[in-house]
Chains A and B, each alone.
Chain A
Amino acid sequence: MEKSDEVVAVAERVTVVPVAPPLRRGRRWPLGAALAITAVATAGLLLAGTAWPDQPAVRAWRTVCLAITVQALPFLLLGTVLSGAINAFVPADLFTRVLPRRPVLAVPVAGAAGAVLPGCECASVPVANSLIRRGVTPAAAFAFLLSAPAINPVVLTATAVAFPGSPAMVAARLLASLATAAVMGWLWLWLGREEWLRPGLRHRHTGHQHGHSRLHEFRLGFQHDFLHAGGFLVLGAMAAATFNVAVPRSVLDAFSGSPWLSVLFLAGLAVLLAVCSEADAFVAASLTGFSPVARLVFMVVGPMVDLKLIALQAGTFGRAFAWRFSTATTVVAITAGVLIGGLLL
């Protein structure tokens, strides 16, 4: 009984968590804990003794929610291990040495370099931030930020597993994501303003620092990234499971009937569901009523724009940046998805 009540309580908090700016997390701890305890206690009092957890819908919700989490955990773990290893063991100035000096060229190269950082979008935000602080031009760092969660081998493998027998889907996802990342980088070069960025991005953890055991740093970085991303994964799984169980198939069919509406609907869904990029292919595969193009758009938009990412970006780069960047990225990603999906699928 008690545990089911926790489920409810946290589900109620769900709406609050991603919106809260990820700053000052440490300081607010006691308040947050107090809120959580109050929520759990209230839910416990309200639900104690009811047959609520035995409702078939609730059981199906729990099954689906856990299934998404279990399915994604190994992928998430692999991603965080690798990104932790890169953070701790790759020399700090490697990226600056490798990238071309001219920003216009650096953008696509950085976008393609996203393939070497296997991780999900939560990991790529701090990495992009550290790249900027190490002198990489912001445009290139943003191209990297957008492409890394979408085109790395872990995600592409997951996509191939989720869409067995349709390699075109993997290729289309790779191309559309790369195109979006490059276009956004160039857009930043053309229209972007430094003052949208949070002033004085301070030096933080990324990379190896003198006087610390690399293994120790690796373990800490890994632990942090895994717990952080894992929390968001559970959140995404909850949202997806709610959607999966609560929304009757007929509503989906209403949208899946019209090609344009279905594309916009799934793009919006990708933003709202905030599924980790390492798991979103499986969610896309489950949306069986929709056209391949709409599902591709779901997978292109998802890793680049979603609620948790907007929150992360607002915390890291500043709010003025986050909403402009996310809006523009959504438009570019939908366009790229439709164009490339139309050609390949």
Chain B
Amino acid sequence: MKRPVQSLLLTLTGLGLLHTALFTDTYLRYVKAGLRVPLIASGAALLLLGLTAAVARERRGGSGRGHEHGSGHGGGQGDGGDHGHDHSVTPRIAWLLFLPALSLTVWAPPALGAYTASRSGAKPVTVQKKGFDPLPAASPVPLTLTDFTKRVQQDRSLAVKGRAVQLTGFVTPAEEGDGWYLTRIIFTCCAADSQTVKVRMYGTEAPPADSWLAVTGTWHPRGALGTRTAEAALDVTAAQPVAQPVNAFTDDLPLRPS
């Protein structure tokens, strides 16, 4: 890889990181919000480095190549069989870095959706040991999919019985039959470790896959409420399309884009 290409690659990678984390919110499709500052810092550093490399080469002009290649870095010596870690020769593997750099700037892949959700098993819900607080009085009660599942399967006080709840997630068609799930994908660190929370929906036709909905309804009675046998399922009374929340990949109530 020649030096101008190296500067270009560094600059492009830096711009890509800045684009995804500073100028837009697309980084939230891939990683958690906490990584924003490191990403911006890395982007700025790479951009600076790429520009410095380009400027330094300009300044040195014609003698530049000779200096960087010949002296001190082992480029001119040996029989050609021993260039394992020579600074003037960057291995071809570095070309691969162009892919994420270009992908970040001009061709950002979409957020994970129904395809991933339908192929992963439901995330095991942790057992809540300390018991449940009473549900807020609001109707419908906004709950996360995880909270709803916990309430249905673990809450001995049966607080959700007969209550209207509001859940937000995207649509994942069921693999068999015409049913569908309301789903959220949750990252631990990045999209590679995503886990899926699903709640089965009853009473309406399946909306288009991947569309975000705020669904209002009551628990679909199947199994004994408050025990493991209860199915995390909802009888839908109303389903309203919503924009994808800012915090789409966390296990929290949705934040609306402001």
Q: Do A and B bind each other?
A: yes
Interface residue ranges, A against B (CB under 8 Å): 3-4, 6-7, 10, 17, 22-27, 29, 32, 36, 56-57, 59-60, 62-71, 73-74, 77, 81, 125-126, 129, 161-162, 164, 202-206, 209, 211-212, 216, 219-224, 226-228, 230-232, 234-235, 237-238, 240-241, 244, 248-249, 282-283, 285-286, 288, 312, 315-316
Segment of B151-159, B162-170, B187-195, B217-225 in the binding face:
B187-195
Which of B98-106, B132-140, B141-149, B250-258 interfaces with chain A? B98-106
Inter-chain CA distance A70–B31, complex, in Å, is: 7
Shortest A54–chain B CB gap in Å is 10
Could you tell me if B189 and A161 are in contact, using CB atoms closer than 8 angstroms? Answer: yes
Which residues, 85 to 104 on B, are CB-close (under 8 Å) to A?
Answer: 85-100, 102-104
Using known A-B contacts A23-B83, A24-B80, determine if residue A70 contacts B104 with beta carbons closer than 8 Å.
yes
Please determine whether B103 and A62 come into contact, CB atoms closer than 8 angstroms. yes
A6 vs B9: C-alpha distance in the bound complex, in angstroms?
Answer: 16
Known A220-B87, A224-B87: A74·B188 in contact at CB below 8 Å: no
User: Could you tell me if B85 and A32 are in contact, using CB atoms closer than 8 angstroms?
Assistant: no
B54 to chain A, nearest CB (A): 12
Query: B45 contacts A212, CB within 8 Å?
Result: no
Instruction: Report the bound CA distance from A237 to B99 in whole Å.
Output: 11
Which of A71, A228, A240, A283 counts the most B-chain CB atoms under 10 A from its CB?
A71
Q: Which 7 A-B pairs have the closest CB atoms?
A: A286-B193, A231-B93, A67-B191, A56-B115, A67-B30, A62-B109, A74-B38
Interface centre among A81, A222, A238, A286 (most CB of B within 10 A): A286
Across the interface, do B94 and A286 meet the contact criterion of CB distance under 8 Å?
no
A60 to B116, CA, bound (A): 7
Q: Show the binding face of B for A, using Cβ within 8 Å.
A: 1, 6, 9-10, 13, 17, 20, 27, 29-31, 35, 38-39, 41-42, 45-46, 49, 52-53, 56, 68, 71-75, 77-78, 80-100, 102-104, 106-116, 119-121, 188-195
**Are B29 and A63 in contact, with the CB atoms below 8 A?**
yes
Return the chain B residue nearest A204 by Cβ.
B74
Closest Cβ of chain A to B151, distance in Å, is 23
Docked-complex contact B121 and A227, CB < 8 angstroms: no
User: What are 9 A-to-B residue pairs whose CB atoms are below 8 Å?
Assistant: A26-B75, A56-B113, A60-B112, A204-B73, A204-B85, A227-B6, A240-B192, A244-B192, A249-B121
